[in-house]
């Protein structure tokens, strides 16, 4: 739709708003609007809860746990203000594995309780365990056959930036802690990796929710930042799988393989550094180090045992993810690389 610009006074331009939209968001004389500049566009929005509220409805009857988790988390990431979860076809005493609870670390990864003997949760308990993994939402209504989840508080860019920094910090510590735990045979520390990965997921889900509802500060980079966060989640999963391999298979690694693990962790730290202080020299060093990983891994494979081959499989995935992240960082920070030298000196 087009709107004609009207000049009012010496320094003011006005346009009219579509009445259909104004009624939908319940605008009244004196209402405040949020106006943000995005390149050649102005985005006009309202924080009016009644007007902006969006509701998703999900029926989990007959769904396996992984699909239940994915559907609810997708609705959360998509930015719905309310999510209604129906389980009308599920009996109240029909239980689910406690896979959504933080306590799975104690129940399963201690190695004393097989998966088929995990404690079981009622539908409402399972949903509550899911909600505990989301930032900024709570259950506001629960009945015999449904639960309603609602957002509390406002989504902010400040919390978004803090969440990304937390993801980087946790991932950096996660890799180092796994190597240290393997060297010292600290099974307690390895068991905690699952909970650490869950915390990463919480921050990542929140970041994706912000991007889906508000976009990135530079709106043109929203899809790039979304991809970065998604790949960081994948990287955390690979660290988790290494810890699970050690716990479940009592894996043993030699000093050379752990040294290689150390080097991969340093590669992630290098990406972390260039993400916040970008320059092409740092990018070049990351790519050079990646080339050396290829030759090093070929040598290590020749004398590796089965446990080490499994480790190299995950580490190779991590190095591929890091390179993909660096390529996305180039897209994100390209404006810095393309600035004229005179401007860089200022």
- pLDDT tens-digit series, residues 242-285: 998 998 888 899 999 999 999 999 999 999 999 999 999 999 99
DSSP annotation of 216: -
| Residue of higher predicted confidence among 298 and 64 | 298
Hey, which of 41-45, 87-91, 224-228, 246-250 has the most confident mean pLDDT? Answer: 224-228
State the Rg of the chain over Cα: 24
The ranges assigned to domains in the chain are 16-51, 55-151, 157-345
pLDDT of residue 267: 97
- Confidence grade of residue 307 (pLDDT, cut at 50, 70, 90): very high
- Confidence grade of residue 110 (pLDDT, cut at 50, 70, 90): very low
Task: Please determine, for residue 153, whether its predicted confidence score (pLDDT) is greater than 90.
Answer: no
d(CA 164, CA 161): 5
For residues 72-83, give the mean pLDDT. 91
d(CA 268, CA 45): 38
d(CA 243, CA 4): 62
Task: Please determine, for residue 97, whether its predicted confidence score (pLDDT) is greater than 60.
Answer: no
d(CA 188, CA 181): 8
pLDDT of residue 61: 79
β-partners of residue 36 are 43
| Residue of higher predicted confidence among 232 and 64 | 232
DSSP annotation of 17: P
How high is the mean pLDDT of the chain? 83
| Residue of higher predicted confidence among 49 and 155 | 155
- Confidence grade of residue 119 (pLDDT, cut at 50, 70, 90): low
H or E element at residue 170? helix 157-184
pLDDT of residue 51: 43
* Burial class, 187, CB count within 10 angstroms (exposed 0-12 / middle 13-18 / buried 19+): middle
Task: Please determine, for residue 344, whether its predicted confidence score (pLDDT) is greater than 80.
Answer: no
Q: Report pLDDT digits (tens) over 170-200.
A: 999 999 999 999 999 998 888 888 888 888 9
- Confidence grade of residue 112 (pLDDT, cut at 50, 70, 90): very low
Among candidate residues 79, 78, 77, 75, the one with its CA nearest the CA of residue 60: 75
- The CATH superfamily holding the domain 157-345 is Phosphate transport system protein phou homolog 2; domain 2 (1.20.58.220)
Fold match, 55-151 / 157-345: no
User: 55-151 maps to which CATH number?
Assistant: 3.30.110
Contact 211, 283 (CB under 8 A): no
């Amino acid at each position: 739709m087009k709107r004609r610009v009207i000049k009012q006074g010496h320094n003011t331009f006005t346009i009219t708003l579509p009445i259909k939209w104004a009624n939908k968001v319940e605008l009244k004389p004196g209402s405040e609007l949020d106006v943000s500049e995005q390149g050649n566009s102005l985005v006009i929005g309202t924080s009016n809860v009644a007007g902006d509220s969006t509701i998703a409805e999900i029926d989990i009857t007959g769904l396996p746990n992984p699909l239940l988790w994915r559907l609810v988390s997708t609705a959360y990431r998509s930015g719905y203000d309310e999510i209604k979860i129906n389980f009308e076809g599920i009996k109240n005493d029909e239980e689910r594995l406690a896979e959504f609870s933080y306590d799975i670390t104690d129940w399963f990864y201690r190695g004393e309780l097989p998966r088929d003997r995990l404690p079981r949760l009622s539908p409402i308990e399972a949903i509550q365990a899911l909600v505990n993994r989301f930032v900024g939402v709570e259950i506001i209504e629960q009945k015999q056959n449904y639960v309603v989840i609602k957002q509390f508080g406002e989504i902010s860019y400040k919390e978004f930036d803090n969440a990304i920094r937390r993801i980087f910090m946790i991932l950096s510590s996660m890799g180092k802690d796994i190597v240290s735990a393997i060297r010292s045979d600290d099974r307690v520390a390895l068991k905690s990796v699952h909970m650490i990965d869950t915390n990463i997921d919480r921050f990542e889900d929140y970041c994706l929710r912000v991007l889906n509802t508000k976009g990135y500060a530079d709106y043109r980079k929203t899809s790039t930042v979304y991809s970065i966060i998604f790949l960081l989640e994948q990287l955390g999963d690979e660290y988790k799988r290494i810890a699970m391999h050690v716990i479940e298979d009592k894996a043993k690694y030699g000093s050379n393989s752990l040294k290689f693990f150390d080097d991969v962790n340093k590669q992630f730290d290098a990406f972390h550094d260039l993400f916040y202080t970008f320059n092409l020299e740092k990018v070049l060093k990351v790519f050079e180090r990646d080339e050396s990983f290829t030759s090093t891994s070929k040598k290590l494979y020749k004398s590796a045992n089965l446990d080490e081959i499994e480790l190299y499989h995950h580490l190779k995935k991590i190095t591929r993810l890091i390179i993909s992240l660096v390529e996305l960082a180039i897209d994100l920070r390209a404006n810095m690389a393309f600035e004229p030298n005179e401007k860089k000196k200022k």
